[in-house]
A and B are shown apart, each in its own frame.
Chain A
Amino acid sequence: MKVTFWGTRGSLPSPRPGTTRYGGNTSCVEVRTSDGSVLLLDAGSGIHRLADFGPGVTRVDVLLTHLHMDHIIGLGFFGALFQPELEVHIWGPPSATLELRARLSRYLSPPLFPVRLTDLPCKLMLHDAPRGTFDLPGASVTADLVCHPGPTLGYRLEADGATLTYIPDHEPALGDTGFLSSKEWTSGFSLMTGADLLIHDSQYTDEEYPSHVGWGHSTISQTMGLAEAAGVGTLAPFHHDPGHNDVLLDRLFSTALESGDWSFEFSPAREGTTLTLGRHATVRS
């Protein structure tokens, strides 16, 4: 399983000289399995770099965690949607009120966007992601709701003997004075347990968090604690705050790493990099 980060930034695209190493594009992760299947996790601005999937690819599955703007802003610029021969399946969290097509159309229609969903040339299919495990080409996917404002899913993908968990927006510490005292009562814990790679929200510092409680995100130290408790192989802190530049992120991650005797590999998500997952082996390229 090859995992490529095309967008690692949270909340707002933040391209500027100070963000070139960790990246300025918002959430998008490409997963390629050994049989050539392509799954994309979220459609932030990073997705615009993806257009040519190579020979033999006739289907792409896009798994949206939720519909906040930073996770769908790239959809209108996703090259696959304009390729008539390509089958594109978009999966998103169910809503109690509107189907996924209606919710996405709020963005992909005038006046916010010139092209309507119905006018896209690809073979587009939209699905409510079932809560539980379902099979997609190349991978078994488990989806579950996690703690973040509005319906928000975390995903666990199993393929090629490896497991990837992706929870880019997550605030399991919300209101929980005993955070991590009980794994059973920790949002998203089942999705994370024993994953070879955990890509997880780490937007805030400990100092920033008190003024952002309820906004739906974790601190770097909370994420380190989650990864340790869940016994993951590698942690990739993700959804970097748009106000944090490369120098600051280097310092924050270095401090976090030195703060404990961690049992996992630490590999902060950087735009344009690829991790290759085998069973308990992660290689960066």
Chain B
Amino acid sequence: MSAKAVELILLRQLLSRLPLPATLVDADETVIYFNPATERLLGLDWETMGERPLSYLPEVVNPRQSDDSAMGVDDMPLAKALHERRPQQYRMIIHDSQGIRRRIVTTAIPLDGQGGTLLGALNFFWEENEAQEPVMP
């Protein structure tokens, strides 16, 4: 058993206290954490779900493009940030544990460590309020 990189450990500690939903994946494409704000928004329980491959996420949240077309796992912002090592910002649709549609805006960033080591990726997301101005085209 090896401990997580300290950057991921500190990020998890920070995320656990933020009111903004967030998800953390490691460089092996394993979802290693989502925070209590995510649990509240999506009706999920991290302790029950535990670490899962990123490829499992579509089964959990059924992601869709903003026009309601299908979104594969590789098109999810978190996966793109990890694969392309560039920040991603999307408007999209996910579903909570009751199957209720949630229009969200999400920002995903790759986590580059020292010496160019890829540690994983992080995304924040928040539910879009119809009254808000669009965040991006």
Contacts and interface: CB of A to CB of B under 8 A. Distances in A.
A185 B4 contact: yes
B136 interface: no
Interface residues of A, number: 22
A151 B115 CA distance: 13
B1 A131 contact: no
B78 to A, nearest CB: 20
A106 interface: no
Contacts of B2: 184, 190
Interface residues of B, number: 18
B119 to A, nearest CB: 11
B52 to A, nearest CB: 15
Contacts of A145: 5-7, 114
A175 B4 contact: no
Nearest to A95: B114
Nearest to B10: A147
A94 B113 CA distance: 11
Interface of B: 1-7, 9-10, 12-14, 16-17, 113-115, 117
Q: 7 closest pairs, A vs B, by CB? A: A175-B13, A189-B3, A190-B2, A190-B3, A145-B6, A187-B6, A94-B114
22 contacts: A94-B114, A94-B115, A144-B6, A147-B9, A147-B10, A151-B114, A174-B10, A174-B13, A175-B14, A175-B17, A183-B3, A184-B2, A184-B4, A185-B9, A186-B9, A187-B3, A187-B6, A188-B3, A189-B3, A190-B2, A190-B3, A193-B1
